[in-house]
Amino acid sequence: MSDSPRLFPTTSQTLLSLIHDVDSRTREVSVARFCTVYYPSIYGYARALGLSEPDAQDLVQDFFVEVVRDGLLQRFDPLKNTRLSTWLMACFRNQVNSHHAARKTQKRGGSSEFVEFNPEHAEHSYRAAHLAHLAPEPTFDLMLAREIWQAAKATLLHKHARKGNRDLVADLLPFTLLDRWPPRPLPTQEELAARHQTTLVKLKAFFNRTLKAQARSRFDEECLRDCPGITEADIQHLWNLLCKYGED
């Protein structure tokens, strides 16, 4: 087990534990969440390995059949293995190399605990990530970071919708990834303050003292929930990729 300090204490209510929950509805929701987070990343990894778009769709879908339906996740132990994403990449690579992936008779949706994938979204995400010209492993990491960030943003937007400032937060969240406010053609802070009928002082205070901290904290929490065994250094790595290459 890694001795690296964690940003938050680990909990038994990680995504993996919820996937194996006794309650069927909890399992279904958690499986859908797992596929939402990891399908684009594994797909991007497959494409970065050189697989064509059709082959990547087939092999990745078959891989998730084994992961979700055939219990592959039960072999992962965060106390013994590396982080889940590294383990998944190794499993997929081994499956491709051994030519066990294609099982044409098993179709998606054939089980109450399986979900419909979105290969169009995965391919779009891969093409955006491919612009960074990264190797397969960091391509996986970048796409994973982006999926986690989408979940973090959704949670923050829901939270601030209850407070009545969702639109302001939606406009500000992309800038939380940047070291400094970007030049035009993006709107200035003064323009956003006027758009949302607040003062520049209040907007700056909310952005710098509140929202930036909330964005990073929520990202870290999503990482810990979705990536059992992840260390503080791993989370920082994902955050750095997100900040360097953007959210899409």
pLDDT in tens, 205-247: 999 999 999 999 999 999 988 887 788 999 999 999 999 999 8
Regarding predicted confidence, which is higher, 145 or 107?
A: 145
Pairwise CA distance, residues 215 & 173, whole Å: 8
Number of residues that this document lists for the chain: 248
Of residues 41, 245, 58, the one with CA closest to residue 126: 41
pTM of the model as a whole: 0.83
Pairwise CA distance, residues 84 & 10, whole Å: 14
pLDDT digits (tens, 9 = 90+) for 76-106: 877 775 678 888 999 899 888 875 444 444 4
pLDDT surpassing 80 at residue 4 = no
